[in-house]
Amino acid sequence: LKYYTRDTKAALDLMYRRSRCLADFETANKIDTVNCGQQDALRSN
């Protein structure tokens, strides 16, 4: 039973790390998109 508990905890930790990494990646992409839009607007003025 200890083996399965440890294995389950490791799987949950891995899923949490992957989901946080994906969320951080999506946030960074949104920020980059906004920054690129602002730079384009400044160039056109």
The mean pLDDT of 16-39, rounded to a whole number, is: 90
Prediction pTM value? 0.64
Query: Which token pair is 41?
Result: 């607007």
Q: Which domain holds residue 11?
A: 1-45
- Tell me how far apart the alpha carbons of residues 4 and 23 are, in angstroms, rounded to a whole number: 28
pLDDT at 45: 59
Query: Which token pair is 42?
Result: 């400044």
Higher pLDDT, 20 or 43: 20
Query: How many domains does one find in the chain?
Result: 1
